[in-house]
Amino acid sequence: MRKRNTIYLMVSTAVLLAACGGGGGNTIPPDTTVPTTPVNKPSFELKGTVPGTLIEAFCEDGSHYAVNSEFNTSNKHPFVLVLPTNLSCRLVMTTNENDPERKIVTPIKLINSDGLASIAFSGSEDIDLKHIDLPLNRDEMLADANNDGVEDIPKEIIINNEASSAVKIIVTENDPLDTDKDGVINIFEDDDGDKINNHDDDDDDGDGIPDSEDDVNDYENNSESEPEDATNDAEDSNEVEDVKTESDDDDKDESNEAENEVETETENEVEDEIEDEEDDKADVVNEIKDNNESDSNEGNSESEDNQPTVESDVKEDDSDSVEEGIEIQTEQPVTTNETESETVESDSNTATSHHISS
C-alpha cells in the first residue's frame, strides 16, 4: 500500500508541474513590459490650450471638424479636437468668433522637429500642441491687408519631438484647399474684395446670387468640375438661341412673302400698262384705217367728176401720209397689230393704183 501511495504522489506532482508550464524556464519577470501588436486607431486627439477660441479642421475629403475651448477663469482654455487618423487636414483657430466686428481668424502652420513646415498635416497618435497664444484684438494681428479679420500670414507652431513622431507634416505642390499657396485656405479668402471672408460672406463670388442658390462650394475646389447651374445656363442659352433662330426664320419668311407680293403687284402693273399701250396703238391704227377709207371714198367721188390730176395728187399725198403715220406708229414694238398695219397700207396702195388706172 505504501508503494502505491508513493506512485500516486509522484504522478500528482508531475501533473501539477505540467499545469504551471514546466520548471519555470518560461516564467515572465514581474517588471517586464510585454510587447503588443500595434492597432490602427480610427482617430486621434489634437489638444492644447488657447485664450477662448473656436478650433476648426478643414480636411481634404471635404469633411469639417470643430470644437470650442472650455471656459475657465484663466487665459488658457483647454480644447480637445478629435480627428480621423491619416487624413490630411488644415487647422484654423478663431477668437471672438461670435462678434463679426472683432473676430480674428488665424490659420495654423505646424513645424516639426526637423524644420519641415506646412498648413497640411495628418496624425496617427494623440498630439499636444501646448499653449497657443492668439490675438484677441485686430490691432494685434500680424497682417490683414484687406481688413477682413483673417490673418494674411499663418501662425507658426513648433511641435516637440514627441509630437513630431505622432504628426505628419504634408508639403503639397498644389494644395486643393489653398490654390493660391498663400497659407490661407480658400474658404477664408476674400474673393470678391468686399472685406468679408468667403466663410462669412453670403455671396462670396460677388455675382449677386446668394451662395445658397449658387454653384459655389466653399469647402472644396470645384474648378475641375462644371457646375450643374452652368450646364442649365448653357441649355437655357441654347433654347433662347433656338427661339431667336425660329423668330429670324419667321421674319425672313414674312420678308420673302412681302417681296413676292411687291414683285407680283409690279408685274401686274407692268402687264396692265403694256395692255393699255397696245390698246392705244390699236385705236390709232383703226383711226388711221378709218381715215384712209374716208379719203379713198372722197377720191372715188372726185374721179367721177373728171378731176384726175387733182385727185391723184390728193390720193398720193394721203397715201404717203398714211404710210408715214403707219411707219411712225410701228417704230415702237407692236406685235398684235402689225398685220393690220400692213393690210391698211396694201389697201391704200390698191386704191391709189385703181384710181390712176381709171
Q: What is the pLDDT of residue 11?
A: 45
Residue labelled with grid coordinates 427661339: 243
Q: What is the pLDDT of residue 334?
A: 44
Q: What is the pLDDT of residue 275?
A: 74
Q: What is the pLDDT of residue 206?
A: 86
Which residues are within 8 A (CB) of 141 and not within 5 positions of it... i.e. 6 or more apart? Answer: 104, 135, 151
Q: What is the pLDDT of residue 38?
A: 55
Q: What is the pLDDT of residue 286?
A: 75
Q: Give domain limits for the chain.
A: 43-217, 248-357
Backbone phi, psi, residue 339, to 5°: -65, -40
The 10 Å Cβ neighbour count of residue 48 is: 22
Which residues are within 8 A (CB) of 188 and not within 5 positions of it... i.e. 6 or more apart? Answer: 92, 105, 107, 150, 197, 198, 199
What is the helix, strand, coil percentage profile of the chain, to 5?
40, 20, 40
pLDDT digits (tens, 9 = 90+) for 101-158: 999 999 999 999 999 999 999 999 999 999 999 999 999 999 999 999 999 999 999 9
Q: What is the pLDDT of residue 226?
A: 42
Q: What is the pLDDT of residue 294?
A: 63
Where the chain has pLDDT below 70, the residues are 1-39, 215-268, 270, 292-358
Three-state SS at 262: helix
- Candidates 107, 131, 113, 220; CA nearest to 169 is 113
Q: What is the pLDDT of residue 196?
A: 93
Q: What is the pLDDT of residue 105?
A: 98
CA 51, CA 72: separation in Å to the nearest integer? 10
Cell of 204: 462670396
Cell of 351: 386704191
